[in-house]
Amino acid sequence: MDILISNLDKAYDKGRRPIFSNLSARFESGKVSMVLGPSGKGKSSLLNLIAGIDTPDKGEIFLGGTPVSGMDDSARTRFRRRNIGFVFQSFNLIPVLTLMENITLVSQLDGKPSGGVQDRATALLTAVGLGDRSGEFPDRLSGGEQQRVALARALVNDPEIILADEPTGNLDSETGTEILELLCTQASDRGKTLVLVTHSQGALAHADAVFTVSERQLVAG
């Protein structure tokens, strides 16, 4: 499911803080696309716009040919649940839910049968090294462990698009490499579209395409 962004403008603080101006870009399915740039220049905002969490002031965003930027809030939420996995930089785990409940919540809201989702969640927890801790609560985990749970939650619905905001930022080098390889495999072996925001120069070795946020634009190469 390709991502196409066409002539996008976005500003905050009632237009006083422009982030993007006439930005156009394409992220291809089956590819690992990495987005670089200084803090505060809009990398996380870009992911939020692609996911439909935020909306552009001008321009369009197409996901697999579907113009999500023109949908209402409810339609964007339904589309996001079914097609997008988001690894948030701040984890966004719900503290009163167990790890298993956090991972399977979106699937339950989307009405998916619980059996298959539970099996996939268990396999993903095992893949990120937390297979024996599914009944624990997030406050018992380190930041790096919470990040791994957030990754499992993003992948449990087998989404066509994966958006990852600094997914290895809270991990040690060895674990970060393992998680990065797990993410990139989703694109290379499973044909998913992966857009990954990172400051890690080591991550670039896994990239099929690199973009840099500069002067309110997204520059390829």
Q: Which domain holds residue 191?
A: 28-52+72-220
Q: Could you tell me if residue 22 is inside a domain?
A: no
| 153 contacts 106 by C-beta, under 8 angstroms | yes
What's the CA gap between 155 and 37, in Å, rounded?
26
Q: CA-CA distances (angstroms) from residue 164 to 33, 91, 152? A: 10, 11, 12
Q: Could you tell me if residue 166 is inside a domain?
A: yes
Q: Could you tell me if residue 95 is inside a domain?
A: yes
How is residue 212 annotated by DSSP? Answer: E
Letter for the amino acid at 35? Answer: V
What's the CA gap between 18 and 14, in Å, rounded?
9
Q: Could you tell me if residue 10 is inside a domain?
A: no
**What's the CATH code of the domain at 190?**
3.40.50.300
pLDDT tens digits for 99-149? 999 999 988 887 776 678 899 999 999 999 999 999 999 999 998 899 889
Residue 209 bridge partners (DSSP): 33
pLDDT, one tens digit for every residue, the chain (221 residues) = 999 999 999 999 888 899 999 999 999 999 999 999 888 889 999 999 999 999 999 999 999 999 999 899 999 999 999 999 999 888 899 999 999 999 999 888 877 766 788 999 999 999 999 999 999 999 999 988 998 899 999 999 999 999 999 888 778 888 888 888 888 988 888 999 999 998 877 788 889 999 999 989 999 87
pLDDT tens digits for 35-44? 998 888 899 9
Q: Could you tell me if residue 37 is inside a domain?
A: yes
What's the CA gap between 30 and 143, in Å, rounded?
29
Q: Could you tell me if residue 207 is inside a domain?
A: yes
DSSP string of 26-42? EE-TT-EEEEE--TTSS
Indicate the number of domains in the chain: 1
Q: Could you tell me if residue 2 is inside a domain?
A: no
Q: Could you tell me if residue 7 is inside a domain?
A: no
Q: CA-CA distances (angstroms) from residue 215 to 42, 162, 201? A: 10, 26, 21
Of the candidates 108, 6, 110, 100, the residue with the CA atom closest to the CA atom of residue 60:
6
